A and B are shown apart, each in its own frame.
Chain A
Amino acid sequence: MTGYLLEISQALMALALAPGLVGFVRWWKARLQGRRGAPPWLVYYDLRKLFGKEVVISKNASWLFRFTPYLVFSSTLAVTLLVPLIAAPLPFDRVGDLLLVVYLLLLGTFFLALAGLDPGTAFGGMGASREMTIAAIAEPTIALSIFGLAVGAGSTNLGRIVAQTLAHPGAAISPGHLLGFAALFIVMLAETGRLPVDNPSTHLELTMIHEAMTLEYSGRYLALIEWAAALRLLIFFSLLANMFAPWGVATTLTPVAVSVAVIALIAKLGALGLVVALLETRLAKLRLFRVPELLAVSFVLALLAVTSSFLLR
């Protein structure tokens, strides 16, 4: 029972933390540009404001356009129930594994791309086309990183992977793990629309990927999609943090362990946020047709990760 309670509170915590994480990265970027920047909690105000505004819908849009925000939000939220954020293993671990996590996120992308095509604007179609291209090419890297982790841990279920790495800390610095981490990190940048793949703060439609699909959304629908995007960032950060460096994750459900886990999670998210902010300060956006090269690099890293975990097993 406590397990299920913890599961639900973990999802709620992810919901609460996600906008803050986005704001935190933005705040760091502003500081690195010599600005004071918006406070990290501004994103919460953004969301509240959007929920209070009316919705304007294109006359060409169909029911799919209005259904998509709910589906994107729900499928992303469902993922937070499966990823071990603060404790492992959790009861929902049996419901789904890492492959399900990846395909649930792809479900959201699939519908968002359809919604981008729905109003019939060129921008939406452009965003949909690019997003699906990148999602498709990123897919093998994710699958191979999963494979690498799973071979090491003997399972694709997230709780088991965490538990296994906790039990054998040496595995975390094995070449398979390190290469897999690097591969997944690059893919994370692509999947969450960060530089150098996509510029989250661009205003120029022609350079957009993710945002071009959401140009038609407003009000509560936009709020749901932005919140889901923030959740996605948090999910990828915590996958990176807890799969490869699971220390701090509670294995017993005592109040002390859980609160330590919460603090550890926030610290890890903060550290990754800082790294992303530093990278985004340093890197320029790649041309769209150079992105596959970057993803090919990550694919090779992942392949090496799997091969080494096969041979060094």
Chain B
Amino acid sequence: MMLILFLVMISAYLLGAFAALLSGRGAVGRGLVSAGAAVGSAAGLALGVLVIASGFPLTFTSARLLPLTGVALRLDGLGAFFLVVVGLVGCAAAIYAFGYSAQYAGRYSLRLLGVMFNLLLLALSLQVMADNALTFLVLWEAMSLTAYWLVLTEHDQRGTVRAGVWYLAMTHAGFAALIAMFLLLSGAELTTSFASMRAGAALLSPGSRNVVFLLALFGFGAKSGIIPLHVWLPMAHPVAPSHVSALLSGVVIKMGIYGLVRVLLDLMGGGPAWWGGVVLGVGAVSALLGVLYALMEHDLKRLLAYHSVENIGIILIGIGAGLIFHSYGLMTLAALGFISGLYHTINHASFKGLLFLGAGSVLHATGTRNMEEMGGLIKRMPWTALFFLVGSVAISALPPLNGFVSEWLVFQSLLGGSNIPTPEVAVVMPIAVGILALTSGLAAACFVKAFGITFLAIPRSREAEHAHESPPSMLAGMALLAIACVALGLAPFVVVPALGRVLAGLGGLPDTHAVFSLNLSLVAPNNFASMSPTLVALGLLFLLGLVPLVMLIFRVNRRWRVSDSWGCGRAGQTSRMEYTATAFAEPLRRVFAELYRPTKELSIDFHPDSKYFVQSIEYRSEITPWFEKVLYGPLLWFIRFVASLVRRLQSGSVHIYLFYIFVVLLILLLIARWS
């Protein structure tokens, strides 16, 4: 059964890719591409669920497919969980792509888009099954490169190529770190299977273990977009087609999380407390700065991309807490930390996927990503608005949707910090609690802005005025993820035990599938707290029905009439009188002015006859991109400097190059002779 699903998954993806190659434009071609991807991811989803439910890993090896070592695939619980994440978002994105990619016909290469989309999904699905270093690295590179092509789809738009270059550079810096890490882990032999690495990791010296940790954090962190390695993320995710953005933000960056858990917990079996502390700290900084930069964004997709940085931070807070507890042997709390991180992973995949698809619909309808030109879309695109609202509530961590559940778990695992024996370490936890709370409050503010400015009030441009609802396939894709958001929020008593089972045995974690949930409630260790999102949702629904009913019984006046908005009686209301996204975020920009360092530029043109009449006012304000200036500025300068030195060797003359080759060969031969 599992094997059939596995083969169905692979062949569906490959057929989808072939269909894209052969057909090209028409609706049939797009349909086949989407169908291949959708069937493939659905099969992957089913396979993942099946493996988690049965507890039996699926293995598949072939020595022929890859030189040196052969392909080694093994789908265990952890991999299966991430396969579910891939399948969920992939399926929704594939269905959505059918409608969305229609607009590309004739403008961009649908062929390339379809092939790369299917191959990316295939690479992602196999990635989580990789069971030796070389398979892992090859698939990792396949994932990075297919994603690169997808980012470049709209290659003639401003900023796309630049974003692609940044992405490629950062992802390869990370890739280099990963190669080094695996070399260290496997004793310089990339053919080593994960099983022998698991055994060998304990024998490494503490120093090289620490280096492995730092390399893993850098390599996987560059993929996840942790701060300060995040700069490529807000560039690359927005310029990709929206269903690809959903996949990039929802799934691809989660591979960094997968890698961290796989290497740090599974292969290395945990480490000293400071590892966890570093992960926690990086997570906290990423979460807070991510949301703060998101607040200042008025490009809808860039805003969502910065929220990905934030949510990766929240996931890492959970995982970091788990690592800290793990180092003190507090295994139940450690499991809670990892569970909260992984739960937030699938939650973030579903709501960020949903939000990117929603943003894509808005882009599709209005042709712009700039929030200041939107407004009033809730009346023109009611379904998109509803789905986007679900996503917004979920990502703001408001009950009873899924974001709240996983953040509650993260909070509970941090609150468990009082069990840590050393007070110096324990004191880290309340600070993380404060940062996490600030982050979630700011996220709520940010999504009031994102939803309110985009969908509510009066349209701010002609395009927004004439916006239209998306085709059914796009709505279906969003609906799938919206349902996932609701379901993951209402059924933690299914998800949490499943995660407990997934984590059992990794790095010595106990099987906690029955520890954190009791009937419909979630329970923190030591009976520290209990909460049931299911009952809360039911209660809210009940009250939402009861209140109007009671009002009906008491014969409340039910008349209503429509009138103008109240604007102190002024004659006309235009969209220029509305609050803008910039204005909405202004108080927070002032509060955090130390971070943003906003620059202001005000130029006023007066009437030539009298300076009491203003002809035009131009106001320009920007926040200082701190990281790019302070961190990447010097780095880029250094790279350019080195490159200019290297250039001296390259004269362009073939004779000189022949001479280089001759000298190098000579030296190599001499070395070989003497060694």
Check if A136 is an interface residue, CB within 8 A of chain B. Answer: yes
Assess A78 versus B540: contact at CB under 8 Å? Given A129-B584, A289-B591. yes
Residues of chain B touching chain A, judged by Cβ–Cβ distance below 8 Å, are 375-376, 378-379, 389, 393, 396-399, 404, 408, 411-412, 415, 418, 423, 426-427, 430-431, 433-438, 440-442, 444-445, 447-449, 451-453, 456-458, 521, 524, 526-532, 535-536, 539-540, 543-544, 546-548, 551, 554, 556-568, 573, 575, 577-579, 583-588, 590-591
Assess A57 versus B438: contact at CB under 8 Å? Given A128-B584, A154-B528, A310-B427. no
Residues on B with beta carbons closer than 8 Å to the beta carbon of A25: none
Cβ-defined partner of B556 (8 Å) among A64, A77, A220, A311: A220
Residues of chain A touching chain B, judged by Cβ–Cβ distance below 8 Å, are 51-64, 70-71, 73-75, 77-78, 81, 93-97, 99-100, 103-104, 106-107, 109-110, 113-114, 117-122, 124-126, 128-130, 132-133, 135-140, 142-144, 147-148, 150-151, 154-157, 205, 215-216, 219-220, 224, 288-289, 292, 299, 302-303, 306-307, 310-311, 313
Assess A114 versus B530: contact at CB under 8 Å? Given A121-B565, A121-B573, A147-B433. no
Residues on B with beta carbons closer than 8 Å to the beta carbon of A93: 530
Cβ-defined partner of A99 (8 Å) among B411, B452, B532: B411
Residues on A with beta carbons closer than 8 Å to the beta carbon of B415: 147, 150-151, 156
Q: Are B560 and A55 neighbours in the complex by a CB distance under 8 Å?
A: yes
Complex Cα gap A99–B436 (Å): 12
Cβ-defined partner of A154 (8 Å) among B426, B431, B526, B583: B526
- Taking the nearest CB of chain A, how far is it from the CB of B584, in angstroms? 4
Q: Are B573 and A117 neighbours in the complex by a CB distance under 8 Å?
A: no
Complex Cα gap A74–B539 (Å): 9
From B389, B528, B551, name the one whose CB has the most chain A CB atoms within 10 angstroms: B528
Cβ-defined partner of B441 (8 Å) among A53, A57, A130, A138: A138
Residues on B with beta carbons closer than 8 Å to the beta carbon of A136: 438, 441-442, 444-445, 588
Complex Cα gap A126–B447 (Å): 16
Assess A310 versus B529: contact at CB under 8 Å? Given A78-B539, A133-B445. no
Residues on A with beta carbons closer than 8 Å to the beta carbon of B554: 51
Q: Are B448 and A128 neighbours in the complex by a CB distance under 8 Å?
A: yes
Q: Are B418 and A310 neighbours in the complex by a CB distance under 8 Å?
A: yes
Residues on B with beta carbons closer than 8 Å to the beta carbon of A137: 438, 441, 591
- Taking the nearest CB of chain A, how far is it from the CB of B472, in angstroms? 21
Complex Cα gap A124–B579 (Å): 8
Q: Are A219 and B557 neighbours in the complex by a CB distance under 8 Å?
A: yes
Complex Cα gap A113–B456 (Å): 11
- Taking the nearest CB of chain B, how far is it from the CB of A54, in angstroms? 4
Residues on B with beta carbons closer than 8 Å to the beta carbon of A62: 378-379, 456
Q: Are A128 and B452 neighbours in the complex by a CB distance under 8 Å?
A: yes
Residues on A with beta carbons closer than 8 Å to the beta carbon of B397: 103
Q: Are A140 and B531 neighbours in the complex by a CB distance under 8 Å?
A: no
Residues on B with beta carbons closer than 8 Å to the beta carbon of A114: 448, 451-452, 456
- Taking the nearest CB of chain B, how far is it from the CB of A226, in angstroms? 14
Assess A216 versus B560: contact at CB under 8 Å? Given A100-B399, A133-B587. no
- Taking the nearest CB of chain A, how far is it from the CB of B581, in angstroms? 10
Complex Cα gap A69–B368 (Å): 32
Residues on A with beta carbons closer than 8 Å to the beta carbon of B430: 144, 147-148, 303, 306-307, 310
Assess A143 versus B434: contact at CB under 8 Å? Given A100-B408, A154-B528. yes
Q: Are A140 and B578 neighbours in the complex by a CB distance under 8 Å?
A: no
- Taking the nearest CB of chain B, how far is it from the CB of A153, in angstroms? 10
Cβ-defined partner of B528 (8 Å) among A104, A120, A156, A311: A156
- Taking the nearest CB of chain B, how far is it from the CB of A83, in angstroms? 14
Q: Are B531 and A96 neighbours in the complex by a CB distance under 8 Å?
A: yes
Cβ-defined partner of B434 (8 Å) among A118, A130, A140, A292: A140
Residues on A with beta carbons closer than 8 Å to the beta carbon of B540: 74-75, 78
Residues on B with beta carbons closer than 8 Å to the beta carbon of A138: 441
Q: Are B441 and A106 neighbours in the complex by a CB distance under 8 Å?
A: yes
- Taking the nearest CB of chain B, how far is it from the CB of A126, in angstroms? 6
For B592, the closest partner residue in chain A by CB is: A292
Complex Cα gap A95–B560 (Å): 37
- Taking the nearest CB of chain B, how far is it from the CB of A53, in angstroms? 6
For A129, the closest partner residue in chain B by CB is: B584
- Taking the nearest CB of chain A, how far is it from the CB of B525, in angstroms? 11
